[in-house]
Amino acid sequence: MPGALPITYYLTRRQTLTAALRVGLIAAAVTLPVAAVIVVAFEVWSAMALPPVVFVGATLLTWPFVRRGGIRVDESGIRPLRRAARRHQVSWHLITDVRAERRASRTVPVVYLKSGRHWRLGVPYSGVMLGADPRFDEKLCVIRNTWDTYRLWRRPPVTDEDYSNTSVEG
């Protein structure tokens, strides 16, 4: 399959929306007591419109920045797309296992390294409600199959004469 690699994974649109809504909800929850104090102290009832406005504004402002993260899977290994996280890039021959694990309400792929450390990939993941990714199993399978294909790729070829002799002598 020429041109199949590199494969890039980002958050799905629903996961991006969920993250942006979460930020908007937190911002609105912070402004709710402020609006209540303004209503009680100054009797300005229009201040109750502040939390919904902040919710919508924070959600819309956060939306473009949430989707920036992701990973790239290619012949050399797995690498994050964000420059701040480049220290986590790893080659296939350094990985001992790739499997899915439950973390809180999400199922995430975890990469186990020969050094004994592990790396939880930020994407793909499957969560609850809007955080669910219907293609999560397929994406995890692609990552595992790519690892299985390329994990022995950088090793020197076998030079045993009996093994490399494929001719039939009779």
> Where in the chain are all domains bearing CATH 2.30.29?
71-150
Residue with tokens 């609105």: 28
The pTM of this model reads 0.74
Q: Give the three-state DSSP class for 116.
A: coil
Predicted local distance difference test score (pLDDT) of residue 130: 81
Cβ density class 105-120: b for 16+ within 10 Å, e for less:
ebbbbebeeeeeeebe
Gap between the Cα atoms of 10 and 136, Å rounded: 12
What radius of gyration do the chain's Cα atoms show? 24
Eight-state DSSP code of residue 117: -
pLDDT at 83: 73
pLDDT tens for the 170 residues of the chain, in order? 455 678 999 989 999 999 999 999 999 999 999 999 999 998 888 889 999 999 999 999 999 888 777 899 998 899 988 776 667 789 998 999 999 999 888 899 999 999 999 999 988 999 888 888 999 999 999 999 999 988 887 554 444 444 333 333 44
pLDDT at 71: 92
Q: What is the pLDDT of residue 22?
A: 93
DSSP H or E run through 101: strand 95-103
pLDDT of residue 166: 39
Residues 108, 140: Cα–Cα separation, whole Å: 9
CB neighbours of residue 124 within 10 Å: 25
According to CATH, what is the number of the domain 71-150? 2.30.29
